[in-house]
Structure 1
Amino acid sequence: MEPPAGTRPYRSHKFPACTACRQRKIRCHFDQVAAQCTLCREKGWQCITASPGPSAQKRERASTSGPGERPAKRTTQSLGATEDGSPRVQVRQPSRQASVIGTPAEASAEIAQPLDHPSTESTVIVGPVFQEDIQILGPYLSKGNEARQSSKERQTTSAGPGRNPLLYLSVPRRRRGLQPAKDPGSGQKLIIQQLVGPFAGDLVDLYFEYAHPCFPILDEFAIRKHGAANVSSALWSYIITNAFSSWYQSPKLRKHPRPDPIYACNVAVAALQEDFNESSVSTILCSVLDMIGRPINSIVGNIINEGRTIALAHTFGMNRNPTHWGCSDHEKRLRTRTWWAVLITNRLSALAHGTPPTLTRGQYDVPLPTYATLLTPDKDTEYRRQGAEHFIQLCKLCEILGDIIHIATDLRRPFEARVPRELRKLECDLDEWEANLPSYFTKPLEEGKGPGACNLHFCFLSTKLMLARTALKVASDGQQPDNSSEHLRYRLSVLRSSAREIADFVCALKSQHLAEFWLPYTAHLLASSAMILLRCTVETTDTLARETCKQSLESLRKRLRSARDEDDWDLADIFLNQCDEPISRVIGKLDNPTTSSAAAPISPRPPQQENIHAAINVEDVVLQPLQQDFVFDFAGGGLGGADLGFSFEGLGLPFDSSLWNGGFEDGGDGMGGF
């Protein structure tokens, strides 16, 4: 008779029962995420196990010691009792075979559970509002000295520090009535294996050589040690597909045609959907790899995955500081890496897609990752340290970005009086972040720069542009005390220079820079920056500023077209598909002023039109007619989309025709980015 799924094999000596269950001679039912058995969890004891007995040690030495090796000295372990009645013995290490954070040898959430030990339960974090209630009621609801527990009961356990504990609730892992998959994503994994053939190992090497150093969220040692057979099928599929962007950087692989990356990505997405039905920590990592992978296939799909990933991370308590938890150092490092990867994708997704961020500073207390958290012990090279620094600096930058976006997405008008002060503080924080950068990140286009330097600098410029857009939006609020024409003119010039700075940086990129690590959000941010530059071009009456913006737009378009055609840089596709034609038409109209009303004087805005932009989405930066000498009024007879002779309908993200017409109309999709 086979043991039930998810339990320790009967009379197993390889995975012994904990000391408390052994003394009571009961079956030790081990919970996965809480790293405790049901008995110890109810009693509030540490789930611990004693050292092997003499006979077990003797058998172990006989099986592991060679003929010329001397057996290790025997150690003994006292079995006293603690104050709360639990045995005082050696603390159990999280090496159970059925642990959600472990493998047969290491505790690693990247590795799937063995197929012969499927899990039937999962654990979710209890909301902080109910933690105190459960702690107070816990002693009264306890079953006393009743030892035998059902593995299907839903119970709670404290897994955090005493001053601020976390409570987990055991729940069924799968939906009732749904046939569970023995290995979610195994069919898709087989397809990808057939697709890449004998090059799977080379692609794994490519991933850890080019993508992993800059975004080190996986356990390289565990994945390389256990191989494809023991790695989660969905996770392995994403490692392979994310390495496709580096295919031509391998001297071996560049001699062979690259498989279709879009097809491979779709297969990996199907594996992820199956994995979400039996979610674990590995599912979060797969989803993060999906959002930072290339090519970009589905914007809506990425937005949905981002929301599901954050919800799952909160469910597993990833947003809490694990420093003082009673878990292994490996799990602490894993939790820290995973949470900050989730936060980075949340911030950059909000910036690129226009969705309000769902995380605030008060909702997490996970410390910033360190070298010890990110680096693989046997890969502690200078190159890897610089890549880890890229990830750390990106974490710090995204915290600043989150504060900016929270102001930008605030729909309340007028802005509160504290908002201008907060923006000035954020400007100082951004300047301080830039000043504290290591030297190998300060000049991303020069030799000797660190890995991911170009991507980090582009993210910084995009954050700077977002701050300038938000500052102009706040300054144009009629209720603000500093909305004088000089201040608004200054904010507009800062916005224009920030957009030009992005265009100049992209135009200076060489082929070797394009082959480096880039986050896929770059594609959307390029389109958004070009749109701002285009608006600055059509709204200004300053001839010199207009010509400068036109030249920047033309140079940017030329460089990105060359990057796509000559270097196969897929991140240029969105810009060229959405902005190429609008830029050509706008520049054509400006070069032929006889067909437009650009030179016509503008009358002051009537009072009834002062709030015409109130319904505009945050993507449409409120470039109101500040003064007749330097701003055109879109809504008041100036150089708008209709005057330019073309429509923005059908262009898709990141802007919509309704944005140019004074707000969203009924039926608008509202999918604009910032």
Structure 2
Amino acid sequence: MAAVITLQSSSAAGPAAPSFQQQQQPQPHSPDSQPSHRRRLSRAQQQQDGPPSTPLSPVSSSTLTASAARAAGRDGPSCDACLRRKSRCAMNEMVNKCYSCDFHRQECTFNLTSGAARPNTAEPLSKKRKLEDSVPEDAESVKRYVHRSRMHQSYVLLPSTVASTKQGQGHYLVPGFFDQSIQYIGLTTEFEPALLDHVPLDQNNEGIVSNFRLRKLGDDTYIRVRNTMPDSVSVDAIESLVAPYGATLIEKFFEYVHPTFPILMEDTFRQTYRTRKNLSPLLLAAVYVLTLKFVDMPASQSVRRPDVARLESTALKLLTESLPRATVATIQAGLLLMEKSTVATRALNAQLVTAGFELGLHQDCTHWRMDTWEKGLRKRLAWALYMQDKWSSLVHGRPSHIFAWNWTVKDLVEQDFIDAFHADTNQDDTSVGHGPLYFCHMVALTTILSDILDRFYTLQAIEDFKASGGNRTRMILERAKPAQIRLKEWFGRLPPQLKMDTSGDLFDTITEENARNGALHLSYFATEITLHRCIIRSLSPETADAYLSHICRSAAKTRLISAMDFVNRLRPAHLRSFWPSASRHNFTLIGSFGILLRVTAPTKEESEFYRLRLCEYRWTLSVSRKNAEFLDFSLDSLDNATNLDRYVPDKPAIDELMHSAVKPTITSRPVPIIALDDPDPMLEAGGTSSVISGLASPATSVSDESLRDTPIPPL
């Protein structure tokens, strides 16, 4: 049974949390016996691609290495068959043959050289015959398009080509997908869909209108396609800025970043990088910028070091030039650059969202006329853009640019990750990989964050709370209930691969996959804290009595200690992994929440408790920063907030408060706290602390007597 990853909608907030359905596995002898995330072409594509080639046999790693080295060393020389046909030769490392020889089921030999005399039989071939020999017959529609179009076209391998060869399929060429500027035609523009319906289209659902190509994707869905202008900076110029570390940076990118942020197609990118054909300088620069921190540079002054500042400025320049006529590579590069904390700005986020709207990424592409791999790529890019926008809204305290009523992207499933990762013949096909699971659960958590921001932090929500007067806290608790339930359900559905190591032993081995989970759990704590900040801010003698305030503050106290305990248990392997740009703010958010609880503490003793916890937290950050430089921002922010603490008036001691307070009348009726009535998995009987990831620290457990008096409800 193959698990299907989906994000099911919730009545609470539009897009919602993930669920895992079971998909019936086909019979072993069926062509569809491989799971969908390993099946590189849909059944419809297989029917178009013609007869399958010879099934693959396992290839040793030494053979693949030799093949890769041979292929990487030659851009011009071709195999004997391609020389005779005078066609371009591109190696398929998976089968140790070029794509053409693999398709024609013939040996791929290199007995001739590019300077050798070609057989006379190849000379009289017409241009038409040479084109037919260089591409398979099932790409006839593509060839007709090439002869028809007068505009210069660049070509790339169909992204599913590399993986489809594994399934015994041929390959074919299509006009450059990543070099096309795409503009979605909205229903309110000057282009009337009823008129566009009469434009004659070819086999690719494309037609020529004025100075652009019109592509029909659905019944009333059209896009304009144009070729982009040449880049102002070449690939070689980008490569020179990081030489001789280019190849190392590519490997580090797919080792650290891509597994949890799969917005590229690994095999396709590696192929274009190796051949230097149709490689976007912008995308290459973005990959380098984000990956430089994962490469250990030698301390020797004689060794050339990458020009980091120039590389980053060049990448931003190329991105600025590309945004007015955005391509898929523009969105990919922009998202990667936004994952670098120093580049992630409010303005760039708004520009990227606008560019995504231009490409129509905000729409449901399920029934659009495009291949499965393209639909999957669009959905991954759409949800990555969604996450970037929502977390940027939290980080910068600005309104989000994406709204539920203009967002129809469907839930992610396994098939959406076709070609996202390297086609590994040795990988178990019966389970979903760590990368897709991580990405889907991060998307689901972001939808909960979006719900919280909409319910509590919009201007309209703030006005509603003010208008409620003394009922403000209870109104907030009522609104918080659905979000709390969704958070609880989200954590309950976390698979074992995404849980943090519960042993807490310093000497335990941490796997690469487990090390990547730190950012996911930190995001969970940041989401919970964002919910609790609004509740704590609402507490006052006018909006909540002493008992209700005690309940809310006790629950918030437990969340804070759990988050601090989680950070305290992060190991160097966790800290050296890839952390999204919002992570430095999420670390800061924990400290800000502690300061909020200290400032609003009713007694001197409680204020001192939080002061000590904040000192411990700062020490943890200072020790961890050597493995995560972005924590400098969190330390500086915590220090700045602590300096402002001197303006806060001193709190009365608890004895003084007890003598001055009037003993309240105790009634037997229960307090109607609607949002605090479910048991919380993070709280044990008696009110002790338990970290949501399964970690518990005796040093930071809640042992305060106030928590033992009353069982703590779940907020």
Q: TM-score, normalised by structure 1?
A: 0.63
RMSD: 4.6
Cα 1:445–1:354 change in 2 (3 A) is: farther
2:439 counterpart residue number: 391
Superposed displacement of residue 323, structure 1:
2.1
1:529 counterpart residue number: 590
1:457 counterpart residue number: 521
Query: What is the CA–CA distance in structure 2 between the aligned matches of 1:309 and 1:240, rounded to whole Å?
Result: 19
1:284, 1:309 within 8 Å by CA — same for their partners in 2? yes
Query: What is the CA–CA distance in structure 2 between the aligned matches of 1:69 and 1:167, rounded to whole Å?
Result: 40
Query: What is the CA–CA distance in structure 2 between the aligned matches of 1:70 and 1:203, rounded to whole Å?
Result: 36
1:227 counterpart residue number: 273
2:250 counterpart residue number: 204
2:192 counterpart residue number: 134
2:239, 2:246 within 8 Å by CA — same for their partners in 1? yes
Superposed displacement of residue 205, structure 1:
0.4
Name the amino acid aligned to 1:426. Answer: A
Query: What is the CA–CA distance in structure 1 between the aligned matches of 2:388 and 2:493, rounded to whole Å?
Result: 23
2:488 counterpart residue number: 431
Deviation string for 1:279-313 (max 9, x for gaps)?
A: 211101110001112xx3255xx211111111111
Residues 407-418 of structure 1 aligned to structure 2 (within 5 Å): 407-412=455-460, 413-415=463-465
Query: What is the CA–CA distance in structure 2 between the aligned matches of 1:401 and 1:387, rounded to whole Å?
Result: 21
Query: What is the CA–CA distance in structure 1 between the aligned matches of 2:372 and 2:259, rounded to whole Å?
Result: 21
1:504, 1:552 within 8 Å by CA — same for their partners in 2? no
Aligned equivalent of 1:289, options 331, 336, 340 = 336
2:683 counterpart residue number: none
1:340 counterpart residue number: 383
Superposed displacement of residue 437, structure 1:
0.2
**Does residue 106 of structure 1 match 2:153?**
no
**Does residue 325 of structure 1 match 2:386?**
no
Deviation string for 1:189-236 (max 9, x for gaps)?
A: 545422321221011001101111111111110111121623100100
Which deviates further from its counterpart, 371-380 or 515-524? 371-380
Where 1:168 maps in the other structure, the secondary structure is strand
Aligned equivalent of 2:631, options 572, 589, 594 = 572
Superposed displacement of residue 469, structure 1:
1.9
Cα 1:152–1:60 change in 2 (3 A) is: farther
**Does residue 125 of structure 1 match 2:125?**
no
Query: What is the CA–CA distance in structure 1 between the aligned matches of 2:264 and 2:577, rounded to whole Å?
Result: 19
Query: What is the CA–CA distance in structure 2 between the aligned matches of 1:220 and 1:537, rounded to whole Å?
Result: 48
Cα 1:210–1:252 change in 2 (3 A) is: farther
Query: What is the CA–CA distance in structure 2 between the aligned matches of 1:363 and 1:345, rounded to whole Å?
Result: 17
Deviation string for 1:254-291 (max 9, x for gaps)?
A: 99686464553233222222222442111011100011
1:108, 1:330 within 8 Å by CA — same for their partners in 2? yes
Query: What is the CA–CA distance in structure 2 between the aligned matches of 1:465 and 1:529, rounded to whole Å?
Result: 7
1:306, 1:346 within 8 Å by CA — same for their partners in 2? yes
**Does residue 443 of structure 1 match 2:500?**
yes
**Identical positions, percent:** 19
Residues 403-552 of structure 1 aligned to structure 2 (within 5 Å): 403-412=451-460, 413-415=463-465, 420-444=477-501, 447=510, 450-473=514-537, 483-552=544-613
1:94, 1:102 within 8 Å by CA — same for their partners in 2? no
Q: How many residues align?
A: 496
Name the amino acid aligned to 1:236. Answer: L
Superposed displacement of residue 485, structure 1:
4.5
Query: What is the CA–CA distance in structure 2 between the aligned matches of 1:315 and 1:104, rounded to whole Å?
Result: 23
1:367 counterpart residue number: 410
Where 1:159 maps in the other structure, the secondary structure is strand
2:253, 2:291 within 8 Å by CA — same for their partners in 1? yes
**Does residue 553 of structure 1 match 2:553?**
no
2:221 counterpart residue number: 166
2:53 counterpart residue number: none
Query: What is the CA–CA distance in structure 2 between the aligned matches of 1:504 and 1:253, rounded to whole Å?
Result: 39
Name the amino acid aligned to 1:525. Answer: N
Query: What is the CA–CA distance in structure 2 between the aligned matches of 1:544 and 1:195, rounded to whole Å?
Result: 56
1:598 counterpart residue number: 651
Query: What is the CA–CA distance in structure 1 between the aligned matches of 2:152 and 2:351, rounded to whole Å?
Result: 19
Which deviates further from its counterpart, 361-370 or 223-232? 361-370
Cα 1:325–1:558 change in 2 (3 A) is: same
- Which residues of structure 2 form unaligned runs of 5+? 1-46, 51-80, 86-99, 108-137, 162-172, 469-474, 504-509, 662-715
Query: What is the CA–CA distance in structure 2 between the aligned matches of 1:50 and 1:251, rounded to whole Å?
Result: 49
Name the amino acid aligned to 1:241. Answer: V
Deviation string for 1:10-60 (max 9, x for gaps)?
A: xxxxxxxxxxxxxxxxxxxxxxxxxxxxxxxxxxxxxx9999xxxxxxx99
Query: What is the CA–CA distance in structure 2 between the aligned matches of 1:430 and 1:254, rounded to whole Å?
Result: 51
Cα 1:118–1:337 change in 2 (3 A) is: closer
Deviation string for 1:582-617 (max 9, x for gaps)?
A: 42674x899xxxxx643398999xxxxxxxxxxxxx
Query: What is the CA–CA distance in structure 2 between the aligned matches of 1:408 and 1:574, rounded to whole Å?
Result: 26
Name the amino acid aligned to 1:235. Answer: L
Query: What is the CA–CA distance in structure 2 between the aligned matches of 1:361 and 1:390, rounded to whole Å?
Result: 23
Structure 1 runs, 4 residues or longer, greater than 6 Å off:
48-51, 59-62, 68-71, 93-102, 116-121, 141-144, 250-257, 416-419, 474-478, 600-604
Superposed displacement of residue 151, structure 1:
5.0
Superposed displacement of residue 387, structure 1:
2.3
Superposed displacement of residue 130, structure 1:
6.4
Deviation string for 1:105-157 (max 9, x for gaps)?
A: 22489xxxx9x9999984422334569x9344556x7699xxx9865356865
Where 1:167 maps in the other structure, the secondary structure is strand
Where 1:599 maps in the other structure, the secondary structure is coil
Name the amino acid aligned to 1:221. Answer: D
Name the amino acid aligned to 1:368. Answer: D
1:353, 1:524 within 8 Å by CA — same for their partners in 2? no
**Does residue 194 of structure 1 match 2:240?**
yes
2:179, 2:329 within 8 Å by CA — same for their partners in 1? no
Query: What is the CA–CA distance in structure 2 between the aligned matches of 1:124 and 1:430, rounded to whole Å?
Result: 37
Name the amino acid aligned to 2:222. Answer: L
Where 2:183 maps in the other structure, the secondary structure is strand
Name the amino acid aligned to 2:217. Answer: A
Query: What is the CA–CA distance in structure 1 between the aligned matches of 2:434 and 2:200, rounded to whole Å?
Result: 54
Cα 1:266–1:192 change in 2 (3 A) is: same
Superposed displacement of residue 339, structure 1:
0.6
Residues 237-248 of structure 1 aligned to structure 2 (within 5 Å): 237-248=285-296
2:153, 2:227 within 8 Å by CA — same for their partners in 1? no
Cα 1:108–1:288 change in 2 (3 A) is: farther
1:279 counterpart residue number: 326
Superposed displacement of residue 543, structure 1:
4.6
Name the amino acid aligned to 2:581. Answer: P
Cα 1:258–1:492 change in 2 (3 A) is: farther
Query: What is the CA–CA distance in structure 1 between the aligned matches of 2:152 and 2:451, rounded to whole Å?
Result: 34
Superposed displacement of residue 433, structure 1:
0.2
- Which residues of structure 1 form unaligned runs of 5+? 1-47, 52-58, 72-88, 175-179, 591-595, 605-674
Query: What is the CA–CA distance in structure 2 between the aligned matches of 1:365 and 1:530, rounded to whole Å?
Result: 36
1:264 counterpart residue number: 311
2:664 counterpart residue number: none
1:414, 1:477 within 8 Å by CA — same for their partners in 2? no
2:623 counterpart residue number: 562
Superposed displacement of residue 373, structure 1:
2.4
Q: TM-score, normalised by structure 2?
A: 0.60
Where 2:243 maps in the other structure, the secondary structure is helix
